[in-house]
Structure 1
């Protein structure tokens, strides 16, 4: 539970600054990464000294140190790829996901990251529908489908259409929702299939 409280507190701060200033500060992410590695390192050392304490450490949210380091590296690497390929992700988003991986380990870190992308896509779609309107958006999508069918590629976009597609990306609030969902195992209540 200690790790969950620490994670949710850091994600709440990051979500607040992301919504207010469109920034995720290093003062939030670096201490979170360090805390993740330290807590899990101390937990792993204590479990090595006292093997019967392993169950208690799991209740506190500890994962093996290798899992925390792997989570930090894998989640951070995936976000660096997103940063390089898409240019819509900021450096704060990269460090935020690395922090989540360090605090949760690679398994839950990847789950939180994937749910963050799902929530971010849903939020982006809602912003797009809000800005453009459902009818206008449907007409534009059908027009693009017509271009694809006719010439095998995308049709040209006007400057106004391009501007409407430049919605801000708020990954920290989405990560907060994803962190709550994964840590409290709420995904089992989603009727996905």
Structure 2
């Protein structure tokens, strides 16, 4: 629980800076990554010294072990590097999600990553609908479908059409909500 509390505090700071300045600062994520490795290394040391049981370390302190922390960091980080290369995700987002993986491990980290994308996409769609209105969005989709059927291939959008559909994605607030969903297993409560 302590590790998740630290992660949530870091995500709150990153969310504030992401919403205000559209940037996730290195002074937020680098110490967070180091803290995840240090806390999980410390937890592993306490377990080897038999100071605390593995159950207490996981339940009370939120330790997952240094190996799981490193695996989560690498898995989430490498997926985000691919998103950085192919989909132009920001570098701060890459480091932030890698930090989430370092705190949560590979399984919960990947689940948080997927929830981050779902929540970010939903927020982006809501922003587009708010900005352009639902009627205009549906009309543009309808025109695109009809032109695709008529041409028998996907008709590319003009630059002006493409630029008005682009919106900023704020992944830090999405990651904050994703960690809350994953840690407290809120998805299970909904289903």
Is 1:3 matched with 2:3? yes
Query: Structure 2 CA distance, aligned partners of 1:62 and 1:153?
Result: 52
Deviation at 1:185, TM superposition (A): 1.4
The equivalent of 1:26 in structure 2 is: 26
* 2:49 is equivalent to residue 67 of structure 1: no
Matched, 1:111 2:111: yes
Contact 2:147–2:155 (CA under 8 A) maintained in structure 1: yes
Answer whether contact 2:77 2:98 (CA < 8 A) is retained. yes
Distance in 1, Cα, partners of 2:159 & 2:87: 20
Work out whether residues 15 and 176 of structure 2, in 8 Å CA contact, stay in contact via their aligned partners in 1.
Answer: yes
- TM-score where L is the length of structure 2: 0.95
Supply the distance in 2 between the matched residues of 1:69 and 1:5 (Cα, whole angstroms): 19
| Structure 1 residue 36 corresponds to structure 2 residue 41 | no
Answer yes or no: is the 8 Å Cα contact 1:148–1:155 preserved in 2. yes
- Any unmatched runs of 5+ in structure 2? none
Aligned-partner Cα distance in 1 for 2:67–2:153: 46
Q: CA deviation at 1:156?
A: 4.2
For 2:179, the equivalent position in structure 1 comes to 179
Distance of 1:46 and 1:107 partners within structure 2: 23
Contact kept, 8 Å, 1:72 with 1:106, in 2: the verdict is: yes
Task: Give the deviation of 1:155 after TM superposition.
Answer: 2.6
The CA deviation string for residues 112-167 of structure 1, in whole angstroms up to 9 with x for no partner, is 11000000110011011111111111111011111222223333434442222120
Cα pair 1:131 1:164 within 8 Å, conserved? no
In structure 1, the partner of 2:13 is: 13
Match of 1:56 in 2: 56
Whole-Å separation in 1 of the counterparts to 2:90 and 2:34:
20
Give the 3 Å change call, closer, same or farther, for CA 33–158 of structure 1 in structure 2.
Answer: same
1:92-131 residue pairs with structure 2 within 5 A?
A: 92-131=92-131
Specify the SS of the correspondent of 2:130.
Answer: helix
CA distance in 1, matches of 2:14, 2:116: 14
Moved more, 149-158 or 134-143: 149-158
Please report the RMSD computed on the Cα atoms of aligned residues, expressed in angstroms: 1.3
Give the aligned partner of residue 148 of structure 2.
Answer: 148
Query: How far apart, CA to CA, are the structure 1 residues paired with 2:135 and 2:173?
Result: 28
